[in-house]
Amino acid sequence: METEQEEVIPRNIRDKIKKQIEDWEKKDKMFVPTRASDYVMECLQDKGCVILTAPSGVGKSFISRHTALILQKEGYNIIPVELPSDIKTYYQPGKQTVFIVDNICGNFTVNQLQVENWKQLLPVIYTIIADKCCKIIVSCRLQVYKDDKFDIEFPLKFCECNLVSDKLCLTSVEKNIIAKTYIGTSVDDMDDLSQNSEFFPLLCSLYHGGKNGDVKEFFKNPFNVFQNKLDNLSRHGDGGNYEICSLALCVLSNNHLKEKWFQGKVTDEQQHIIKDICDAFEINRSTSKTKLKKALDTLDGTFICEQNGMYRTVHDKLFDFLAHYFGQKMIECLIDHGDYGLVHERFIWQKSQADKNSYTYFVIEIPDDYLESYFKRFIKEWSAGNVRIIFINTNMTVLLFRQQLLRHLKQLDKSQQVTLVNTKDTVLPTEHIESGTTSLIMTCQNGYTGMVQWMLHNDVDVDQCRGDGVNGLYMASQKGHTDIVKLLLEKSPNVDLCDKKFGFSPLYMASKSGYTDIVKLLLEKSPNVDLCEKKFGFSPLYMASQSGYTDIVKLLLEKNPNVDLCNKIGCSPLFIASLTGHTDIVKLLLEMNPNVDLCENAYGLSPLYMASKRGHTNI
């Protein structure tokens, strides 16, 4: 009889998980215990959750899976997590479960959509952590974990296992055992460079899995060995060329090539893809899907593995190499046909060298000759409603790139320009906070003044809001982009437009954040200075008084606000300024004849009482 937990997991998913675990068990026979794997188990027993961080190829996934298999012997059910929502869907209170999350929030760079999805799931995560029957094992690429955009306040942050730290990195003894297990030799037979490779475990595994020639040469230059292998394939007649083309398909799919792709008649899209790949490698355009699939199957176990109807590289690090390799061989084909996740994450304009510090060496550089092609793909995704991912693209942070993009945009038909600037994001789910965002909102948020100017010249609706009610003026006021606020105000927006959740107005955000020049600009448009946020009833004057922004208080008082307007617990601007000791602000407020005896609700405390209690003698 099926258990309660099995019932919440569809049978096809259960079958898929079963096959995955069987594959893990087969590979686990070669697992070499290390101090890192021991420490992970200790942390898991103590805290119930652990996050393994390291560069690709160090053994994060292998250790995660080995640990899960140990727990399985103790009665735990293993559930690999593909989407954040899987945890919420498959969690059963009191059932012994270990969730495995591989490469959280990005395989190469930070996937900000995934970050937001995990943030929204945090209450569920905390519930699971509190359930002593459940464990969570997460792996994360080190460059993703250290990126500022990976800002999830996980409980997992408190039980990080950095596999390349001095405490947990492989010892010489452990390397010796791994080398003997996989390649039948001692590390003493290798030079220092090979021994100190950060992805030593992966190199051992890859060498074991294929005919890779001289072991010393392979460990010195592993990717040169793979590059030579690929280059040689094209010299082996049609069979070799078909194998090259089948690997290209895997790259185009961003390492998620479904077996279904090869089934049925050739679609127009597939025909274009096959034609462009064949042109890139100078082989017959009429190559069939059947031949390509057959070629891909011959690579199973060397470059590729097929599991549950999906072709993927045997390791993510190998995909990094393949993406880079094919980026040099057929960049236009990748730009035109590649999964946009691939194009978004890995393509960097060659002029943006300064922005490559946070990336590994396997980025795909966009030469100037292909920048126009890249812009066309950029606009294609934008037009299709993929707005947010377009404007969080790393290249967009480079001024020179934005200037080149603007030059391209201005050459489009006027009608297309107008359509683009008014296109809303249709990709993000409606429950996401940025659902329905627009290019104007994103550029106002990021401070791209030139882009905003172009949009305002193309009949953009300045009051356009995303799903949560946030608009461009709100974002520019919150982030302190004075020049953008000035541009927006010239178009007579609704200055009192608030977000839906909190009721924050642009004036509230600027007053709260201390942006004096923006407050001054907004006040020139006669906003409602007494507009309070929803949750606590804080007004712009209250927030400026609390934070000690004297110049902003002065500007607000010139508009004759209600100086006795209290928050929901009865605290007035005078009360909070007296409490926090902002003498100059108290003086300004007193000039407006406030009710000095107005007391807060809970204990009936007055401004005078609070100033006296805190020792603010001048007040």
Same domain, 29 and 99: yes
Mean pLDDT, to the nearest integer, of 344-350?
Answer: 88
Is residue 41 a part of any domain in this protein? Answer: yes
Q: Are residues 236 and 205 located together in one domain of the fold?
A: no
E-strand stretches of 537-584: none
Q: Where are the beta strands (DSSP E) in 251-382?
A: 257-258, 304-307, 310-313, 347-349, 364-366
Q: Which two tokens stand for residue 541?
A: 């004057």
**Overall domain count for the chain:** 3
Distance CA 370, CA 35 (A): 48
- Kindly report the number of other CB atoms within 10 A of residue 369's CB atom: 9
Alpha-carbon span 612 to 606, nearest angstrom: 10
Domain boundary among 299, 316, 337: 337
The pLDDT of residue 100 is: 94
Residue 97 domain-assigned? yes
Residue 358 — pLDDT band, cuts 50, 70, 90? very low
Nearest residue to 299 via CA among 318, 315, 313: 313
Q: Do the Cβ atoms of 424 and 387 come closer than 8 Å?
A: yes
Report the pLDDT value the prediction gives residue 466, as an integer from 0 to 100: 94
Per residue in 41-85, pLDDT (tens digit) is 998 888 888 999 998 889 999 999 999 999 999 999 999 988 878
Q: Is residue 541 a part of any domain in this protein? A: no
Average pLDDT over residues 144-173: 79
Backbone φ and ψ of 508, nearest 5°: -60, -45
The tens digit of pLDDT for each residue in 425-458 reads 999 888 888 899 999 999 999 999 999 999 999 9
474 located within any domain: no
Please tell me whether residues 248 and 274 are part of one structural domain: yes
33, 37, 43, 49 alpha-carbon torsion, rounded to 10°: -130
Whether residue 611 contacts residue 604, with contact meaning beta carbons closer than 8 Å, is answered with no
From 306, 337, 368, the end of a domain falls on: 337
Residue that the structure tokens 């794997």 belong to: 37
CB 472 within 8 A of CB 504: no
- State the Cα–Cα distance between residues 314 and 53, nearest whole angstrom: 20
50 within some domain: yes
Q: Could you give the CA distance from residue 413 to residue 410 in angstroms, rounded to a whole number?
A: 8
Q: Are residues 134 and 273 in the same domain?
A: no
Q: Is residue 481 domain-resident?
A: no
- 388 with 428: CB under 8 angstroms? yes
List beta partners, residue 98: 78, 135
Domain that holds residue 130: 4-162
Which has more confidence, 388 or 602?
Answer: 388
Domain final residue, candidates 313, 337, 361: 337
List 424's β-bridge partners, or say none.
438
CA-to-CA dists, residue 441 to 345, 483, 488, 501, 558, angstroms: 22, 15, 11, 17, 30
Other Cβ atoms closer than 10 A to 180: 14
- Looking at the structure, tell me whether residues 17 and 146 fall in a common domain: yes
User: How far is Cα 160 from Cα 146, in angstroms, rounded to an integer?
Assistant: 12
Condensed to tens digits (0 to 9), the pLDDT of residues 520-566 reads 999 999 999 999 999 999 999 999 999 999 999 999 999 999 999 99
Residue 410 pLDDT exceeds 50: yes
Is 195 in the same domain as 130? no
Kindly state whether residues 101 and 237 are assigned to the same domain. Answer: no
pLDDT at position 64? 95
Average pLDDT, the chain: 88
Contacts 24+ apart (CB under 8 A), 274-280: 274/245, 276/330, 276/332, 276/333, 276/336, 276/337, 277/245, 277/248, 277/249, 277/252, 277/330, 277/333, 278/245, 280/248, 280/329, 280/330, 280/333
Query: Does residue 533 fall inside a structural domain?
Result: no
Residue 467 — very low, low, confident or very high, per pLDDT cuts 50/70/90?
very high
Task: Write down how long the chain is.
Answer: 619
Give the position of tokens 């448009």.
Answer: 525
Task: Using pLDDT thresholds of 50, 70 and 90, give the confidence band for residue 242.
Answer: very high
pLDDT at 2: 43
Q: What angle do CA 260, 263, 267 make, to 5 degrees?
A: 100
* Phi-psi sector, 212: left (phi>0), alpha (psi -120 to 50), beta: alpha
CA distances from 318 to 259, 261, 341, 365, 559 (A): 20, 22, 17, 18, 63
Q: How confident is the model at residue 154 (pLDDT cuts 50, 70, 90)?
A: low
Specify whether 117 is located in the same domain as 137. Answer: yes
Share of the chain above pLDDT 90, in %: 59
The helix (run of H) or strand (run of E) holding residue 401 is helix 399-409
Contacts of 181 (CB under 8 A, 6+ apart): 30, 32, 204
For residue 99, the model assigns a pLDDT of 93
In CATH, what number is assigned to the domain containing residue 79? Answer: 3.40.50.300
Structure confidence at residue 612 (pLDDT) = 86
Answer yes or no: do 19 and 124 share one domain: yes
- Sign of the dihedral defined by the CA atoms of residues 563, 569, 571, 576, in that order: negative
Instruction: Specify whether 203 is located in the same domain as 121.
Output: no
Alpha-carbon separation of residue 312 from 19, 249, 408, 494 (angstroms): 15, 11, 36, 51
Q: What is the pLDDT of residue 192?
A: 60
pLDDT band at 359 (very low <50, low <70, confident <90, very high): very low
Q: Among 159-168, 209-218, 462-471, 607-616, whose mean pLDDT is lowest?
A: 209-218
183-197 burial code (b ≥16 CB/10 A, e <16): beeebeebeeebbeb
Phi-psi region of 96 (alpha: psi -120 to 50; beta: other; left: phi over 0): beta
Residues 298 and 196 in one domain: no
Query: Mean pLDDT throughout 325-335?
Result: 95
* Higher-pLDDT residue of 226, 269: 269
Question: How far is 231 from 243, CA to CA, in rounded Å?
Answer: 11
Residues 197, 265 within the same domain: no
C-alpha 474/C-alpha 507 separation (Å) is: 8
In a domain, 104, yes or no: yes
Residue 116 pLDDT more than 90? Answer: no
pLDDT in tens, 164-215: 999 999 988 898 888 888 888 766 666 564 556 778 888 888 888 776 677 7
The 10s digit of each residue's pLDDT in 305-316 is: 888 889 999 888
Q: Which residues lie closer than 8 Å to 568 by C-beta, 6 or more apart?
A: 536, 537
Q: Is the pLDDT of residue 132 over 60?
A: yes
Residue-level pLDDT at 401: 95
